[in-house]
Structure 1
Amino acid sequence: MALRKGSLVPNFTATDSQGEQFDSATVFGKQWVVLFFYPKDDTPGCTTQACAFRDRYQDFTDLGAVVIGVSADGVASHLRFQSKYKLPFTLLADTQKKIRTLFGVPKDLLGLVDGRATYVIGPDQKIHFIFDSLSGSGHMERALAFLKSKV
């Protein structure tokens, strides 16, 4: 069952691009979190999406938010992607798609491609905003506008 606006986000663990264990309990329930799901490292739409978050990263941190990207790519792929584009935020390797399934991120293009969605999770650990669009653009802008209206 997909998480919706108002849903309490359960904690999870995953491996980040540095090969370290990430525990969502270290950030969820403590501050605003922007969690964005994307299909694949270093593809045009995903690069657009990730670089948009990179370019406005300071705006998110100024608002007290943590930005985290998630895809099914592995640690080595994430590290290359993060290094190539100088992405300052955490990338989580969801190789078995457990986090994607937990959130209920749908597939796109007739079920052939992992979907793209952005969630803004509040300090109360509830989802306050969801933007679901296959396009790599618009995710950062909508998440930032939402946060500016709340913080």
Structure 2
Amino acid sequence: MSIQIGNQLPHFSSVKQDGTNFDSHSLQHKSVVIYFYPKDNTPGCTTQACSFRDAYQDFQDLGAEVIGVSGDSVSSHQGFQKKYQLPFILLSDENRKLRKLFGVPTALFGLIPGRVTYVFNSKGICIYIFDSLNAKNHIAKALIALQNQN
């Protein structure tokens, strides 16, 4: 199964970078950008995270929350968030349960976890999906999708 445009945000839970539990029901009535990335502290993933950080207020102004997801541990996420002062939630997906739930493909012949951004409107409906290893384009595309829905 994979998330498609028009699908409802699935219910899921995970662990945040601070070790507390996260439940997707907390996102009700909010737009949300969920981006899956390969690994903390790698050049492309750091660029992407810092770009989301730099545009975070723009997402907030549009009523959207940003959530990053990778297979890294909670402690890795903690260090990554602190080092780059990331203001948004990072979810640990060590068992790849969320990747499977969303249907995030692998890249480069299955060697690298995929980089996919999903945008959901305030009703929890997927309005945009961007699948590209190019880390820089995800932020602008997600902002445009949110702006176009308002």
Tell me what 2:13 maps to: 13
TM-score, normalising length from structure 1? 0.97
Output the CA distance in 1 between the equivalents of 2:105 and 2:46.
20
Runs (5+) with no aligned partner, structure 2 = none
Structure 1 gaps of 5+ residues are none
SS in 2 for 1:100: helix
**Letter paired with 2:6:** G
Residues 43-76 of structure 1: CA distance to partner in whole angstroms, max 9, x if unpaired? 0000011111000100000110000000000100
Q: Distance in 2 between matches of 1:68 and 1:80?
A: 16
Q: Kindly report structure 1 stretches of 4+ aligned residues shifted beyond 3 Å.
A: none
CA contact (8 A) 2:15 2:74 kept: yes
- TM alignment of 1:2-151, pairs within 5 A: 2-27=2-27, 29-151=28-150
C-alpha displacement of 1:88: 0.2
* Counterpart code for 1:25: H
Structure-2 separation of matches of 1:63 and 1:136: 22
CA contact (8 A) 2:2 2:102 kept: yes
Please, which moves more after superposition, 83-92 or 2-11?
Answer: 2-11
- For the residues of structure 2 that align with 1:5 and 1:130, how far apart are their CA atoms? 7
